Amino acid sequence: MTTAVTILGSTGTIGVNTLDVIARHPERFSVFALSANTNVEGLFAQCQTWDPPYAVMVDEQAASQLASRCRAAGLETEVLAGHAALSTVSAHAKVDYVMAGIVGAAGLLPNLAAARAGKRVMLANKESLVMSGQLFMDAVRESNAELLPIDSEHNAVFQCLPAQFGDGLPRVGVERILLTASGGPFRSWPIEQLQGVTPSQACAHPNWVMGRKISVDSATMMNKGLEVIEACWLFGTTPAQIEVVIHPQSVIHSMVQYVDGSVLAQLGNPDMRTPIAYALAWPERCAAGVERLDLFSVRHLDFEEPDYDRFPCLRLARDAMTVGGTAPAILNAANEVAVAAFLDEQIAFTAIPRLVGHALDQVTARAAVDLETILADDQGARECVQRALAEGAH
């Protein structure tokens, strides 16, 4: 009997890499459901290869097109449509693992459904914890779900911690977590030149192959700020116990410092198949197809402190986590709208943190007591940024 996997966002970078790892172990894993937003061509090709029981397209028209193509090809895959269908294939009784690879707030509800159904949630969608950290972690605990991080940094921390870290980091001798960051493409640019950054420049990450939104987040270091928030929930700690370290080579994926002076690090080539394979096989390990790290070629490892003047998004994220409640959800929603506007060439690169800061000032954070409150403040932040864009206040 193979382990049945639902892959949310299967045509994206995480999804494609997950399928690559699964293909190397057909005796261990099978695909139960695949999903995409509007990429009919990509999802149809995956359905031809894997013939899963279900495929989900969020866009209704795209789902209709996919269903027609699957029927014409003689595939038995049932095509579902809409956001609710994502939760259906995540919580289905026949599913064992869910790869949470949808980018942004859109991944929250199906990821939460998987957690509540007691699945192994392989979390590549940091927004789920950024937006609803306490609610999500409560769902994991109450349903005995397994939560394994896929972000290379969090996966590295997970690998460097003892199995009983859930009892509290101080109890296992952890002093602090060191989250590494490449610094993105603009780490050494003169700050005055950042105003003129283009979307293509922002998406040209020096080490990683990622989607456009995450690439921009890496360039602003909002991605690292969101990771600080996510790490707080994953490992039961505070922002004060997490230090961001600029490491341009992206060879050390993160570190854990212990009270006895030891620092444990996880090293590897920058390839997302490593954390994906780790989460699929945990507590065992399996081959991922990743090229072996050649330390003689790396030769040296560099470290720098982050420049908060260059990367104001990092400070905004830390401040939002300190405020707590719905502030991280407001931060995330504002950033999603601002990044989309930048990619559409409506605003300058340097306007992204200004718009996020504006939303945090204008939308009052509340206690994140339920999903309705979180989603309401998420929407309020989006509307706030959209008004600022319409008024040219950026």
Residues in the chain with pLDDT values less than 70: 205-210, 393
pLDDT number for residue 161: 97
Q: How far apart are CA 368 and CA 21, in angstroms?
A: 37
- The answer to whether the CB of 232 falls within 8 A of the CB of 176 is no
Residue positions counted in the chain: 394
- Phi, psi dihedrals of residue 292, rounded to the nearest 5°: -65, 135
Closest to 323 measured CA to CA, from 311, 331, 314: 331
Q: In the β-sheet with 263-267, what is the strand arrangement from edge to edge?
A: 242-246, 174-181, 252-258, 263-267
pLDDT number for residue 204: 81
Domain boundaries, the chain: 3-150, 157-269+292-298, 324-391
Angle at 241 between CA 238 and CA 247, to 5 degrees: 120
pLDDT number for residue 211: 76
pLDDT number for residue 127: 87
pLDDT number for residue 247: 96
> 3-150, which class in CATH?
alpha beta
Are 3-150 and 324-391 the same fold in CATH?
no
Q: Model's pTM, two decimal places?
A: 0.92
State the alpha helices, DSSP H only, in the chain: 13-23, 40-50, 60-72, 83-91, 108-116, 127-143, 152-160, 199-202, 212-220, 222-235, 273-281, 295-298, 312-323, 327-343, 351-362, 371-391
Question: In which region does residue 345 sit, left (phi positive, over 0), alpha (psi from -120 to 50) or beta (all else)?
Answer: left
pLDDT number for residue 206: 67
Q: How far apart are CA 318 and CA 222, in angstroms?
A: 10
Q: Which CATH architecture has domain 324-391?
A: Orthogonal Bundle (1.10)
